[in-house]
Structure 1
Amino acid sequence: MEKFIFFSYLSAAIAYTILFLFAITRIKRHWLFITAVAFSILWSANVVRATQDSQFFIADTLVFETLRNMFWTLWLATLISKQRYNNNFQYVLRSRLAPAIGLLFLLTGIIEGFPSFLDFIRLQTDSDPRFFAHVVFAVIGLILIEQLYRNTPLNQRWNIKYICLSLAALFLFNLIVYSKSLLYKHLDIPLWQSRGILNALMVPLLAISLPRLDLPSFNTAHSVPRKTIFYSTILFGCGAYLILMSATGYYLKQANAEWGETIQTVFIFLAVLLLFVSFTSGKMRALAKVYFGKHFFHYNYDYREEWLKISKALAKLESMGELKDFIITTLTNLVESTGGGLWLKNEQSRFFLAAEQNLRLSPQELDHFKNNHDLPTYLSKKQWVIDFFELAHAPEVYDDIDLSPCCSEDSQIWLIVPLFHLNNLEAFAVLTQPRAPRKLNWEDHDLLKTVGMQLANALALNKASEALANNRQFETYHRLSAYLVHDLKNIAAQLGLIVKNANKHKHNPDFFDDTIDTLNNAVNKMQHIVNQLKQGKSIPSAKSLINLADIIKTIQHQHKGLPALSIVTTVDVCLITVDPIKLTSVITNLIQNAQDATQKPDGWVKLVLTTKPDYAVLEIIDNGIGMDSSFIAERLFKPFDTTKGNAGMGIGAYEARDFVLKNAGHLDVDSIPDQGTTFKLQLPLSQPKTYDSIEPAIDC
C-alpha cells in the first residue's frame, strides 16, 4: 500500500511542479494561484517523504494540506471578487464570514502543527477536530466554486469551466474522504491514497484555463444574482446538516456497542431521507423563500430576473388556453399560493371564470364573483391588490367595497390581483392561502401589480392576434367579393351598351352578331363567378400557351366603348404562357380605364404589340387626362383607392400589376398630366412544343 501511495502522490508532485513552472512564466500576476500550486507541491512531496521516512507520519502532512486549501480558497474568492467588484479582495473584505473562516484555518493549522494542542482537544472531546475542519474546508471550497460559476455570465463561463470542474473534483473528493473519516474516527486510507492520482489528473484542466483568466471579457465586474446567494446558502446548510448527522450517528454508535452500527445506519438513512423530503416540500421552499427574503436581501425580488423569466415563458405559449393557465401558475408561484382562478372580461364587459387551479371556493363565493359588478369597478378605481389578511386586521382600508361573502372562517381566498392593460381592467386573479404564512409588504404588492400588467399585455396581445386572424378571414372574403363585383360591373357595362344601342342598330345583322358574342362572353364570365362563389375563393389559374396577337384582336372586336380602340402590331405570332381568361380581364380593365380617362372629341386609345428579347411588350396608350408622379407612386396601385367615386372599385390597376408580377413580368407606367398615359405590360415569351398546342383566342 505504501508503494501505491508513493507513486500516487509522486505523480501529483511532478504534475504540480510542471504547472508551477508553467504558471510563473505565463500568469505572474496571479500570485495566489502560484502560491496554492507551490503548497500543493509541498503537500504531495511531504506525503511521498512520509512513505519513505519512518520518522515522518501521514498525519504530519495535514498542516500542508490546510495551507494548500487556504490558498485555493483565497484564490477562488479573488476570482469572485474580480467578477463582482472588479477588485481582487473586495469580496473577502465585505464577507461577514471571512474572519470566521480565516480563524478556522488558523486554528486548524495550529492544531495540526503542534501535537500538544491536538492531544488536549482529543482528551476533552474524544474526537479528532482535524477531520471536522477538513470537511468544512471542502464545503467552503464547493460553495465558492458554485458562486464563481453562477456569478459568471453564460458567455464567459468557458473561461472558468475547467477551473470549476477540477477544483470541484478536488474538494468533493476531500468531502467524501474526511466525512467518512469523521464518521468512523480514523482516516480512510483506501480513499486517501487515491487523491494523489486525482490531483495529477486535474492539473491539465487548470493549465488549460490559466490563459483564459487574462482575457478582457473575463475581467469585467458583474452584479451577483440572487439565486447565487440562495444556492450557496443551501449548499452550506447541506454540508452543516450532513456533518451534524454524521457526528450524531457516530455517538449513537458509541452509545450502544452491540447495535451501534445498525442504529447508526438507520439514523443516517432517515437523516438523508428527511433532507430530500425537505427539499421536495413546497411548504419548506416557501418558508425558506420568506426567510431568505427577510434576512439576506435588502430587496425581496430581482425584478429584472422576474421580468425576463416571464417574458421567455410567454414567448413559448401558443394558445389562449395555455396563457390562462400560465397566468395562474405565475401568480401562485410568485407568492407561494396554493391555487387560484382567473376571471376574464368578455365582449359585454362582464367577468367570467376562465381558468382555475386548485381554487376551492364555495358556491356562495363563486356567485359573489359572478354577480358582483362593484368589484371590477373598485379594482379599476383603486388599482391595487386586495389582501384579505390586511382586510381582517384593518377593515377600514376596504370601506368602499363589500367583501363579506368572502370573509368566512373557512374561506381560502387570500389575494385578488387585478390585471391592467393601458389602465383598463382586462382580468383579475383570485389566489388562495399561501403554503407558508406570510404578510405581504409594499414590494410584494408592487411586484404583483407589475407582473399583472405584463400578463395583461399578453392577454391583450392574444386577443388582438385572434381579432387579426378573424379580420384576415373577412379580408379574404372581402377581397374576393371586390374582384367579383369588379367583374360584374364590367359585365353590366357591356350589357348596358347593348341595350343602349339596340334601338339604333337592331336592324343591323352585324349588331346581332356582336351582341351574341358579347352575351356569350358575359355568360362565360358569370359562370366563372358562380364557380368562385361555390368554392369561396379564387379559382387557381389554368395557364396555357396562347398567341397574344389573337387575344388583342378579339378584345378589339368585342370592345365597343368610346373612344374607339385601334391596334398597332409588328408581329403576327407572339406566344406566351398565362391564364387567358385572367389576361383578357386585365387588358379589358386597363382599356376601360383608358377610355374613361379620355373623354374628349379628339381622344384615342390604342394597343401597340411588339417584342424584344425574351419578352412580349403590350402598350395601352391614351391621350387622356394623365396622372402626376405622386399619384402613380402613392395611389395608383393601392387597392380599393379610386378617383371615380361610386363608379369605380379601385382594383383594376392593382389586379393588373399583381397578374403581371405573378407571371414573372413587368408593368411600367408613364404618364403626363393632360397629355396621356402609357401602361406597358412585359410578359415572358414562350416556345411551343408544337404549333397545335396553342390555345385559340378566348371570347371576352
Structure 2
Amino acid sequence: MQVSVILHILGAVGCAAGAIWVAQRPVAKRSDRLPTIVALVLTGVWSGIVAAFGSFAEITSLAETWRNMAWLLVIYRLFANDGRDRSMVAVRPVVLALGFVECLQPVLVFLSREYAVTADLTAMFLQTSAMFRILLSIGALVLLHNLYVGASRSTRDVIRWSAAGIAGFWAFELNFYVVAYLGQQPSAEFAAMRGLMVAIMAVPLAAGASNGLAGRKLQASRTVAFQTLSLLVIGGYLIAMFGTAQLFSLWDGNIGRIAQVGFIVAAATVALLWLPSQRLRAHLRVTALKHLFQHRYDYREEWLRFTRTIGHAEEDVATLQQRVGKAMADITDSPAALLFLPGEDGRFEEGANWNWLHDAAGVETLPSELTAKLERENFVVELDRVRSANRADEMSEFVPVWLTGDERCWVVVPLLHFDRLVAVLVLARPPLARSLDWEDFDLLKIVARQLASYLAEHEGQQALMESAQFDDFNRRMAFVMHDIKNLASQLSLLARNAETHAENPEFRKDMLVTLRSSADKLNGMLARLGRYGSQSTVDLQPVDMVELGQRLSQRFSGEHPVSMTRLDPCTVLADQEGLEQALVHLVQNAIDTSTSEMPVYIDVSADGLNGRIDVVDTGDGMDAEFVRNRLFKPFVSSKTDGFGIGAFEAREMIRGMGGRVDVQSRPGLGTRFTIELPLAEAARFIAAQDNQEVA
C-alpha cells in the first residue's frame, strides 16, 4: 500500500513538472501542445487521487475517465500537425467511438453502486469495465500506429517523442486491464506500477511537446556498446559455467564433487585462453557494429584518431611516411602497413613501413602496369579476390606474384593527389579478415586523398628547402660577382692610367698600393663568402666614421668629385670591413647615377646615441614605389648593367651590426642614403647597465 502511494505521488509530481516544462516553452504550429498540458495536468490529478483514495475508488474511476479522454484528444491533435485530422475521414469517427466507449465507464460505476448486490454482479461489472478499457487501449494504439506510419519524414521528427510516450502509456494500460480481465480483478502490483509509468511517460511527452528533441535519435556510444556486449558475453559464460557446475553437484558422492571441480577448472582454463583473444574481440566488435549501428564506422572518432596520428610523432612513427601507414591501418584494424613511393626511375619502391617485418628477400617494387592502372581508376584492390582461383578478377594480370604470395598482404590502396599517384599503401590482414563493402571503399578513398595531400605537401616543402639552399648559394656567388665587378672597374682604370703614367715613380707607388688593396679585398670577399646567408655573428669594434668618410672621399676623388660636408666626431661600434664595403656600394651607386659635374656628398654626424653617415647625390632619383618595393630586392636594378644586389647587400651588412639603412629619394632631385649605428660609448654604457641588472 505504501509503495503504491509513493509511486503515484511520484507520478503526480512528474506530470506536474512535465506540464510546467511544456508551458514555459511555447512552440509555434504545435496543435497538440495545449491538449498535452491539459492531459498531463489531469493525469497528475488522477495520480494524486489514487494516492489519496486508492486505485479502486469511484472518484478514481471518474478521474481516470477524464484522463483517458484528454489523451484521446492529444492523439487527435497529433494528426493535425500535417493536416490529416481533416484529410483522413476515418480518424474522427474512431476517436468519437473510443470516447463514447470511455464515457460508458461512469455509467458502469453508477450501475455497480446501485445494482451490484452480489459478488457475481460486482465481478461482472469489473470485467465489463476492464473489457471497455481494453478496447480503448487497443484503439488508441491503432491510432498511434497509423499516426506514425502515415506521417512524412519531417512530421515524424516532430511527433516521434510524443507518440513514443503515449504508446508506452497505452501499452501498459492494455496489459493492466488484460490481467484484470483474465484474473476477474485488477492486480494490486500492476495498479501500484501505474504511478511510476505515468512519471516515466511525462519525460518524452514533455520533450516532444516542447519540440526540444525533435529530429534527434538516441544513439548509443560505440565504445559503450562494445564494452556492454563484451560484459554480456562474459556474464553469459559465467552463468553457464556455474549453472553447469551446480548440475554436477546434484550427483551423489565423490563423483559429483570431482565432476564439479573438474568442470570449473576446465572452464576457467578455457576462459583464460579464449576471452583475451584478439580474434574474439574483433569478432565481437564486428558483430556489434553490424547489428547495433547503421554505419560500420564512428566517423567522428575515426577523424579524431586520424588527426592525432598524423599530427603527433611518436617513437615508432617518427616520420610522416610511417604515420601515413599507421593512420590508414588503424581504420581497418590492420596490424602493419607498407608505403610505396616513386623512386628516381619512376618505379614505386618501399619508402616506409609500420610494424612490417620483412623476410630475407625483402620487398620488391610495384610494376608500372599496376601503378598506372591504380592512377587511372583509383581502384582499391582486395588481394583475397585476386588470390581466389574460382573467381576472375580484372586486377589479376596487374598484381605481381610476390604480393599475392604473401598472405599478410590484404588490401592495396592508391594515394592520389590531383589525379597523380603519390604513393601506394599495402595493408596487412587484420585479426578478423572480411570482405570490404561500399562503406569501407568510400572511407579508404577519402582518407587516401587526405594522406596524399599531406605527402604531396611534404614533398613540396622538401623541394622548397633544396631550392632555398641553391638560392642561398647563387646569392653568395652574385655578391662575389658584384664585388669582383667593382674591383675589375678599379683595375681597368689602373691599367688605362698605366699606359700614360707608367714611368712616373709616384704612380708606380700608388699602383702597388692599389694592387695590394685589391688583393686584400679579394681575400676579404672569399672570407665573407662563407658568411653570406648564415647566422654567424661579426666582431664589432670601434670605427671612426670621420676617418672612414675621408678615406672614401680620397678613394673616389680621382674617378668622381666626392666631398665631405660635415665632420662631427663620431665613433661607432661596427665591423670596419663590412661598413666600408657597404659605403663603397652606396658611394659607387651614387656616382653611377650622377653626371660627371655633379658631386657626391658624405655627411658624418652624431646625436648622442647613434652615429650616422649620409651619402647624398643629385642624380636621377627614384620614385616611392621603387624604393618601397624593389630597391632592396635582390637582382632588381634600375641600371642596365647592374646586378641589383648592392643596396640589398649593404642593408643586410648594416643590419648584422645592429644598425639601419634609410632612404630618401625624389625623381629628378637625387637620393640620400643614411646609415645609423650605435655610438661606441653609448653601446658600452648600455652593456654595463645590462650586466648590473643581471648581477
For residues 625 and 354 of structure 1, the distance between their equivalents in structure 2, rounded to whole angstroms, comes to 59
Structure 2: gaps of 5 or more residues: 1-19, 26-156, 180-211, 685-695
Kept after mapping to 2: 8 A contact 1:385/1:415: yes
**1:261–1:472 CA distance, 2 compared to 1 (3 A):** farther
Partner-residue secondary structure (3-state), 1:440: coil
Partner-residue secondary structure (3-state), 1:559: helix
Q: 1:576 aligns with which of 556, 565, 572?
A: 572
Partner-residue secondary structure (3-state), 1:370: coil
* Aligned residue in 2 for 1:520: 516
Q: Residues 440-589 of structure 1 correspond to what in structure 2 (within 5 A)?
A: 440-532=436-528, 540-560=537-557, 562-569=559-566, 571-589=567-585
Kept after mapping to 2: 8 A contact 1:384/1:417: yes
Q: How far off is 1:539 after superposition?
A: 6.1
Q: How far off is 1:586 after superposition?
A: 0.6
Q: How far off is 1:472 after superposition?
A: 3.4
Q: 1:388 aligns with which of 383, 386, 390?
A: 383
Kept after mapping to 1: 8 A contact 2:573/2:680: yes
**1:491–1:404 CA distance, 2 compared to 1 (3 A):** closer
Write the letter of the residue equivalent to 2:379: W
Write the letter of the residue equivalent to 1:464: G
Write the letter of the residue equivalent to 1:478: N
**1:652–1:360 CA distance, 2 compared to 1 (3 A):** closer
Q: Residues 365-384 of structure 1 correspond to what in structure 2 (within 5 A)?
A: 370=365, 372-384=367-379
* Aligned residue in 1 for 2:427: 431
For residues 355 and 218 of structure 2, the distance between their equivalents in structure 1, rounded to whole angstroms, comes to 32
For residues 558 and 312 of structure 2, the distance between their equivalents in structure 1, rounded to whole angstroms, comes to 59
| CA offset digits 1:10-31 (Å, max 9, x no partner) | xxxxxxxxxxxxxxx99x999x
For residues 336 and 473 of structure 1, the distance between their equivalents in structure 2, rounded to whole angstroms, comes to 42
**1:517–1:380 CA distance, 2 compared to 1 (3 A):** same
Write the letter of the residue equivalent to 2:551: T
The number of aligned residues is 545
| CA offset digits 1:556-586 (Å, max 9, x no partner) | 11224643211111x3411211111111011
For residues 486 and 275 of structure 1, the distance between their equivalents in structure 2, rounded to whole angstroms, comes to 80
Q: 1:237 aligns with which of 223, 229, 234?
A: 229
**1:478–1:452 CA distance, 2 compared to 1 (3 A):** same
Partner-residue secondary structure (3-state), 1:292: helix
Moved more, 547-556 or 371-380: 371-380
* Aligned residue in 2 for 1:75: none
Partner-residue secondary structure (3-state), 1:641: coil
For residues 237 and 689 of structure 1, the distance between their equivalents in structure 2, rounded to whole angstroms, comes to 75
**1:650–1:273 CA distance, 2 compared to 1 (3 A):** farther
Q: Which has the larger radius of gyration?
A: 2
For residues 388 and 625 of structure 1, the distance between their equivalents in structure 2, rounded to whole angstroms, comes to 75
Q: How far off is 1:488 after superposition?
A: 2.6
**1:468–1:284 CA distance, 2 compared to 1 (3 A):** farther
**1:234–1:463 CA distance, 2 compared to 1 (3 A):** same
**1:415–1:612 CA distance, 2 compared to 1 (3 A):** same
Kept after mapping to 2: 8 A contact 1:419/1:453: yes
For residues 357 and 520 of structure 2, the distance between their equivalents in structure 1, rounded to whole angstroms, comes to 67
Partner-residue secondary structure (3-state), 2:680: coil
Q: Residues 681-700 of structure 1 correspond to what in structure 2 (within 5 A)?
A: 681-687=675-681
| CA offset digits 1:177-208 (Å, max 9, x no partner) | xxxxxxxxxxxxxxxxxxxxxxxxxxxxxxxx
Q: 2:620 aligns with which of 617, 625, 632?
A: 625
Kept after mapping to 2: 8 A contact 1:249/1:264: no
For residues 161 and 347 of structure 2, the distance between their equivalents in structure 1, rounded to whole angstroms, comes to 56
Partner-residue secondary structure (3-state), 1:567: strand
| CA offset digits 1:88-144 (Å, max 9, x no partner) | 99679779xx9999999x999xx9xxxxxxxxxxxxxxxxxxxxxxxxxxxxxxxxx
Kept after mapping to 2: 8 A contact 1:621/1:679: yes
Q: Residues 663-682 of structure 1 correspond to what in structure 2 (within 5 A)?
A: 663-682=657-676
| CA offset digits 1:204-262 (Å, max 9, x no partner) | xxxxxxxxxxxxxxx99998898x53223234334534553554455456441798799
Q: How far off is 1:480 after superposition?
A: 2.9
For residues 468 and 438 of structure 1, the distance between their equivalents in structure 2, rounded to whole angstroms, comes to 43
| CA offset digits 1:381-419 (Å, max 9, x no partner) | 1111112344436525447746566556x7444321111
Instruction: Give TM-score, length-normalised by structure 2.
Output: 0.62
**1:266–1:648 CA distance, 2 compared to 1 (3 A):** farther
Structure 1: gaps of 5 or more residues: 1-24, 31-86, 112-218, 691-700
Write the letter of the residue equivalent to 2:497: N
**1:395–1:684 CA distance, 2 compared to 1 (3 A):** same
For residues 649 and 673 of structure 2, the distance between their equivalents in structure 1, rounded to whole angstroms, comes to 13
For residues 621 and 225 of structure 1, the distance between their equivalents in structure 2, rounded to whole angstroms, comes to 80
Kept after mapping to 2: 8 A contact 1:532/1:538: no
For residues 307 and 369 of structure 2, the distance between their equivalents in structure 1, rounded to whole angstroms, comes to 32
Instruction: Give TM-score, length-normalised by structure 1.
Output: 0.62
* Percent identity over paired residues: 26
Q: How far off is 1:270 after superposition?
A: 5.3
For residues 374 and 402 of structure 2, the distance between their equivalents in structure 1, rounded to whole angstroms, comes to 17
Partner-residue secondary structure (3-state), 2:616: strand
Q: Residues 638-657 of structure 1 correspond to what in structure 2 (within 5 A)?
A: 638-645=633-640, 647-657=641-651
**1:88–1:611 CA distance, 2 compared to 1 (3 A):** same
Q: CA RMSD in A?
A: 5.8
* Aligned residue in 2 for 1:615: 610
Q: How far off is 1:428 after superposition?
A: 0.9
Partner-residue secondary structure (3-state), 1:674: coil
Partner-residue secondary structure (3-state), 1:669: strand
Write the letter of the residue equivalent to 1:644: K
Q: Does 1:316 align with 2:312?
A: yes
Q: Residues 67-216 of structure 1 correspond to what in structure 2 (within 5 A)?
A: none
Partner-residue secondary structure (3-state), 1:347: coil
Write the letter of the residue equivalent to 1:230: R
| CA offset digits 1:427-473 (Å, max 9, x no partner) | 11223434224221122111111111122222222222333333333
* Aligned residue in 1 for 2:117: none
For residues 414 and 383 of structure 2, the distance between their equivalents in structure 1, rounded to whole angstroms, comes to 14
Write the letter of the residue equivalent to 1:552: G
Q: 2:631 aligns with which of 630, 633, 636?
A: 636
Q: 1:597 aligns with which of 593, 597, 621?
A: 593
* Aligned residue in 2 for 1:326: 323
Moved more, 576-585 or 426-435: 426-435
